[in-house]
Amino acid sequence: MSEFHAVVWLDHFTASVFHFNTHNAEKQVIISERSERLHLKGRVIGTGRQTVDHAYYQNITKALQGAKEILVIGPATAKLELMRHILQHDKALSRCIAGQKTVGKISDRGILAYAKKYFKAYDRMTG
């Protein structure tokens, strides 16, 4: 499905990508191959940071293909890492990113409602 709008909600382990219009929505779920969670504990040597999961972000980028306007939402830094990945690896798609917002864990219905409200205002501002 190649709709005009797309929204992706993601954290470092799961992404929900929706292509939608006023009447229809199609969802695709992408799951990171990584299973480890980062736990910070005292007296442990290391930076306390995970490396960027490029394969995960590449799969999300593929799922976003065809959208003309994209909203990237999520609770933490994964959304920023995705945007950097898209900017470095797919310049054409990077021009389609309409915005990014910090949004905690919400339902699929909540994601779509949030995106529709965002794009209604965005489309009004951009003509």
pLDDT in tens, 96-119: 999 999 999 999 999 999 999 999
Q: Is residue 81 part of a domain?
A: yes
Q: What is the pLDDT of residue 16?
A: 98
Q: What is the pLDDT of residue 113?
A: 96
Q: Is residue 112 part of a domain?
A: yes
pLDDT tens-digit readout, 52-80: 899 999 999 999 999 999 999 999 899 99
Count: domains in the chain: 1
Q: What is the pLDDT of residue 34?
A: 77
Which CATH number characterizes residue 115's domain? 3.30.420.60
> What is the C-alpha to C-alpha distance for residues 94 and 100, in angstroms, rounded to an integer?
12
> What is the C-alpha to C-alpha distance for residues 121 and 83, in angstroms, rounded to an integer?
22
Q: Are 3 and 21 in contact (CB under 8 A)?
A: yes
Q: Is residue 70 part of a domain?
A: yes
How far lies 28's CA from each of 84, 91, 123, in Å? 21, 22, 24
Q: Radius of gyration of the chain from Cα atoms?
A: 15
Q: Is residue 40 part of a domain?
A: no
Q: How much is the mean pLDDT over the chain?
A: 88
pTM: 0.85
Q: Is residue 43 part of a domain?
A: no
**Count of other CB atoms within 10 angstroms of residue 93:** 17
Q: Is residue 20 part of a domain?
A: yes
Give the CA dihedral 49, 103, 106, 89, nearest 10 degrees.
-60
Q: Is residue 116 part of a domain?
A: yes
Q: In which domain, by residue range, is 92 found? A: 5-32+51-126
Reply yes or no on whether the pLDDT at 35 is more than 70. Answer: no
Q: Are 94 and 118 in contact (CB under 8 A)?
A: no
Q: What is the pLDDT of residue 123?
A: 77
Q: Are 1 and 19 in contact (CB under 8 A)?
A: yes
Q: Is residue 38 part of a domain?
A: no
